[in-house]
Amino acid sequence: MLRFVSKNIGVAAIQIFIVSTLVFLLLRLMPGDPAVLVLGTERGADPAAVEAMRATLGLDQPILKQYVGWITDILRLDFGHSLFNNIDVTTYLAERLPKTLELAVVAIFIGSFIGIFLGIIAAIKRGGFVDMLVSSIAAAGLSFPVYVTGTAFILLISLKLQLLPASGYTDFTENPVVHFQKLLLPSITVALPLAASIARMTRSSMLEVLGKDFVQTLRAKGLAEKVVIYKHVLRNAIISVITVIGLELANLIGGTVLIEFLFNWPGISTLLVDAINNRNYPIIQGSIIVIAAFYILINRVVEIIYGLMDPRTR
């Protein structure tokens, strides 16, 4: 088992190194001079300003020296400074990343609870009205874009019924109740399509396990149906579901742009979009590396959990 875990850690380290290298090359291989792109057409016409910006971006050094310095800084978690206020990029990321993680984790918990519950019911009631109802709800949940669902929630729940705040962010230490009130609506918006996907995977996995010979043997031994379903069938079916949950969580780290924008939630996705609009390359590079690193690490953790639950995969 230790060898299996070590192998996954090594693979994650190699993948993060490759991503860091690609991000380094991205700035150097793009058409035109990055310094001119940052300055814009007006200030970019001034050769002195262009040279100063190239020095700020480190583009005035030999390419090999730039690369060694870049990798060394990454190992120290030093992503440089913002071009406009000279604040450490790490400071921005440390402030924004926990907010995105909180939104993603809460959404995953809500979506997993709803999805697994509905998937179990649909599998048990296969072919009946409940199964068709759950399948229809899941299809509808996957069909509606999150910004449409989010806008509908804002209009109905916030403006019409006035049950929850429409948008914004309040720090937990400032007011925990208001913090969770503002977190709930974007979390539910993100959780609904996740619940639909998880419900379909749970249903198909449950049906696959229910068709195994050992399930018939357990029933023939006189075990109660609830024991068969929840102790044996669900335990074997949940492995595939955990894989889906892990992948969805990884996708949410960088995929909540629309939700964060719609609900004015100050996460890392909105930070990345603002940096792209302002051509703030140090923040763009740091955000991409952090998002990619979390995606890779979550996938490796899911792989390890998969191996723990099913030793055959090791």
Angle at the Cα of 100 from the Cα atoms of 113 and 289, rounded to 5 degrees: 120
Please, which pLDDT band fits residue 42 given cuts at 50, 70 and 90? low
Max mean pLDDT range (23-27, 167-171, 186-190): 186-190
pLDDT score at 106:
92
Give me the mean pLDDT over the 6-22 stretch: 87
247 has pLDDT over 70 = yes
Q: Mind listing the pLDDT tens digit for each residue in 83-137?
A: 777 788 888 898 888 898 899 889 999 998 998 888 888 888 887 788 788 888 7
Give me the mean pLDDT over the 16-43 stretch: 75
- What is the rounded CA–CA span in Å between residue 154 and residue 162? 9
| Integer CA distances (angstroms), 308 to 177, 236, 242, 298, 304, in order | 38, 13, 12, 15, 6
CB-CB contact of 88 with 101 (8 Å)? no
CB-CB contact of 94 with 290 (8 Å)? no
pLDDT > 70 in the chain, percent? 93
pLDDT score at 41:
57
pLDDT > 90 in the chain, percent? 3
Higher pLDDT, 23 or 30: 23
Tell how far CA 166 is from the center of its chain. Answer: 23
pTM across the whole model: 0.81
| 24-59: burial string, b at 16+ Cβ within 10 Å, e else | beebeeeeeebbbbbbeeeebeeeebbeebbebbeb
Q: Mind listing the pLDDT tens digit for each residue in 56-68?
A: 777 777 888 888 8
Give the least confident one: 32-41, 128-137, 212-221. 32-41
Question: Hey, is 175 helix, strand or coil?
Answer: coil
Class of residue 128 by CB neighbours under 10 A (exposed 0-12, middle 13-18, buried 19+)? exposed
312 has pLDDT over 70 = no
Give the least confident one: 130-144, 155-169, 179-193. 130-144
Give the least confident one: 13-17, 140-144, 306-310. 306-310
Position 274: which residue type? D
Question: Hey, is 60 helix, strand or coil?
Answer: coil
Mean pLDDT of the chain: 82
Please, which pLDDT band fits residue 158 given cuts at 50, 70 and 90? confident
CATH number of the structural domain 96-274: 1.10.3720.10
Please, which pLDDT band fits residue 280 given cuts at 50, 70 and 90? confident
Q: How far apart are the first and last CA of the chain?
A: 8
Higher pLDDT, 164 or 314: 164
